[in-house]
Structure 1
Amino acid sequence: MTRTRLYRHGVLESEDFPVADVSEHLRDPDSVVWLDLCGPSEHDLGPLAGELGLHELAVEDALQAHERPKLDRYDSHCFLTAYAVRLDQRTGVLATTEVDAFLTPRALVTVRADDGFDMDAVVERWDRSPQLAKSGVGFLAHGLIDHVVDSHFDAVQALDDDIEELEDLTFADHPDDRALHRRSLALRKSLVLLRRVVLPMREVVNTLMRRENDLVDDTMMPYYQDVYDHVLRASEWTDSLRDLVATIRETQLNIQSNRLNLIMKKVTGWAAIIAVPTAVTGFYGQNVPYPGTGQPWGFWVSTAVMVALSLGLYATFKKRDWL
């Protein structure tokens, strides 16, 4: 599956033309071409790499999955690897989708392993700002990176909402401890994964903005600066949420510990109250004569002693909030 676009003098002239026409269009110095490849093989990228002068290491990275987010510079082009993310609100699990891109002076080639990356959203961004198309590859690369960074920002915001809900559940009257632990662990894993794809984007965007790359002109520089600001906010927000999840986890353990201590305190208090009549009856149960033996008043005296001591202990524990 391939998609193509041709811009000439900053105007969209053609799209979905055959890949074989790319070389012909690039002969015109005023043309800029976008080519999108979905699930290509080495055989598909080979001829294109020869025509555009793509480095063999960059081609190898484009065909292999699970590369880290990065921007590699070669003599004739740059190679970009980035990840869009999507959060499952029900489970708190974060899904990532890789997209690779070759950035030449007059061509942008995007490579995707499957349809998981929403390229239609990137095309919509390009179509919303046709006045910027004169900036060429810098304009096309901005739409791609902006979509990726926005997915990071949306995921961070959704995780923030989930963590606020987790905080409310932590202080509920009857919390489900097992569900809370499972949910907090899922959120923590998602934040760790999100941090891995967000933090390297700072260097990616910063490198693209350098003058020596000749990819970003003065028109696009403020837009890249805005994307860079979003990357910084997303990375800082991710770090703060990781600390917050760790704090919530510690709070959960502290609440469980306090609840256990309260239970043990109450059980110990009642055990002490029960021990008083046990001690009195045990004393009177000796096989020796004792005051009131065989007399009704002896029974009533022992009963009164047990009741008085038990009530006295109960009142003392209640006053000290031990019961």
Structure 2
Amino acid sequence: MRTRLYRNGRLQKEGFPVAEVSDYVADGDNVVWFDLCAPTVQELDAIGEELGLHELAVEDVSSDHQRPKVDVYDNHLFISVYAAHLDGETLDLCEVDIFVTANALVTVRQSDRFDIDEVVKAWDAAAPHLAGHGVSFLLHGVLDFVADGHLSVVQELDAQAEDLEEALFEDRPARGRELQRRMYSLRKATVRFRKATMPMRDIVGTLRRRNQELVAAPAMAPYYEDVYDHVLRTAEWVESLRDLLANMRETRLAQQGFRLNEIMKRLTGWAAIIAVPTAITGFYGQNVPYPGSGEAWGFWTSLVLVALASVGLYVVFKKKDWL
């Protein structure tokens, strides 16, 4: 558990017990932040009592796999977002729940995969006058870190899609199964990522409204606009990436159909070549007299006919690009 106390935009204290939070938030000039990582139900209930949080919001934190959203209550906001990280072809999502009151911000991480230290560094590196905007400033730091992470992930997904697009037209049939597996993994990761990023537009859009008094500091409006711009870029990029993957899948199916036609065309050509010698030898194998029957020149004549017919059919099929 990490705690911080700001007063008039300046950091005053760190590492104090959560039991002291209610004493600090009683003073309107104080702003309190504390962070919980995978808390127990008892810890969440204690926080709810300290800050007067709605029981439904506390219950949502305990429930797994919440959808990204923002809920507006009488005295606080409840925000649920997902931080994303791409490890190779595996998309890792970490749920982050946020309680926002008039002068307190609570971040609840479901695991330590969300690096809260980077958020703290961003707060400390910001211009000193911004910290004076209290909760609005702190919330912006968290959402900005999440939105930037989403933008980085979609860039990596797009780079992988470009690699797949190049491999799609390589003339290496032996890699077909591996290519199909990578395409499926990338499509699956994109669908999961889309579910985490698309609702971010509504979340940040709600916070940008001027009637949202908890975070509507006028000086912070451009910074929330910047987060909203990143969110829109990510959402549009994910949509275009999904369309690209769908086109790649259709192209792959068309390639397989074309290749199957090529194989059938070749097999048909070779079957025709084989059929002519079979017809000739079958004719000569009939139990009737024929020119050269019982003579050596008759045997050699049949061989010449087989060879000429086969070569002639091969040349014709080759010119027609059937072989």
The two structures have a TM-score, normalised by structure 2, of: 0.95
Aligned partner of 1:137: which letter?
V
Indicate the larger mover: 206-215 or 241-250: 241-250
Contact preservation (8 Å) 2:67, 2:196: yes
Displacement after TM superposition at 1:101 (Å): 0.8
Contact 1:3 1:36 in 2 (8 A): yes
2:198 aligns to what SS in structure 1? helix
- Contact 1:49-1:55 within 8 A present in 2 as well: yes
Q: Which letter does structure 1 place at the counterpart of 2:311?
A: L
> 1:40-83 deviations in whole A, cap 9, x for unaligned?
22322333322322111111112222111000000101001010
1:296 Cα deviation after fit: 3.7
1:129 is the counterpart of 2:126: yes
Write the distance in 2 (CA, Å) between the matches of 1:211 and 1:190: 36
**Which residue does the alignment assign to 1:169?**
167
Contact 1:83 1:97 in 2 (8 A): yes
Alpha-carbon distance between aligned partners in 2 of 1:47 and 1:295, rounded to the nearest angstrom: 109
Quote how far apart the aligned CAs of 1:230 are: 0.9
What's the C-alpha RMSD, in Å, of the aligned pairs?
1.5
Which secondary structure state, in structure 2, belongs to the residue aligned with residue 212 of structure 1?
coil
Residue 19 of structure 2 contacts residue 50 of structure 2 at CA under 8 Å; is this kept in 1? no
Structure 2 runs not aligned, ≥5 long: none
- 1:120 corresponds, among 112, 117, 121, to 117
Counterpart contact for 1:11–1:130, Cα < 8 Å? no
Residue 6 of structure 2: aligned partner: 7
Q: Which residue of 2 aligns with 1:94?
A: 91
For residues 16 and 228 of structure 1, the distance between their equivalents in structure 2, rounded to whole angstroms, comes to 32
- Aligned match of 1:226: 226
| Residue in 2 that maps onto 1:209 | 208
Name the counterpart of 2:145.
147
Aligned equivalents of 1:114, 1:292: Cα separation in 2: 91
SS in structure 1 at match of 2:94 = strand
Q: Is the 8 A contact 2:3 2:35 kept in 1?
A: yes
The one-letter code matched in structure 2 to 1:123 is V
Report the Cα offset of residue 198 of structure 1.
0.5
Preserved CA contact (<8 Å) 2:21 2:50: no
Q: Is the 8 A contact 1:152 1:234 kept in 2?
A: yes
Cα distance, 1:17 vs. partner?
1.7
1:249 lines up with 2:246 in the alignment:
no
> Post-superposition shift, 1:135?
1.2
Q: Which range moved further: 284-293 or 136-145? A: 284-293
- Identical-pair percentage: 56
For the residues of structure 1 that align with 2:62 and 2:296, how far apart are their CA atoms?
Answer: 98
Which amino acid counterpart does residue 313 of structure 1 have in structure 2? Answer: L
Q: Structure 1: which 5+ runs fail to align?
A: none
- Measure, in 1, the Cα distance between the counterparts of 2:308 and 2:301: 10
What code does the residue aligned with 1:144 have?
A: V
1:197-256 CA distance string (max 9 Å, x none): 101110000001111112131211111111111111111111111121122122222212
Tell me the residue number matched to 1:314: 314
Range 21-30 or range 121-130, more displaced: 21-30
CA spacing shift, 1:50–1:275, aligned 2, 3 Å: same
How many residues end up aligned between the 2 structures?
320
Q: Equivalences for 1:1-323 in 2 at 5 Å?
A: 2-89=1-88, 92-131=89-128, 132-175=130-173, 176-214=175-213, 215-323=215-323
Deviation at 1:187, TM superposition (A): 1.1
* TM-score, normalised with respect to structure 1: 0.95
Q: CA deviation at 1:262?
A: 1.2
Q: What is the identity, as a one-letter code, of the residue corresponding to 2:19?
A: A
- Deviation string 1:266-289 (CA, Å, 9 cap, x unpaired) is 121112112112111111111111
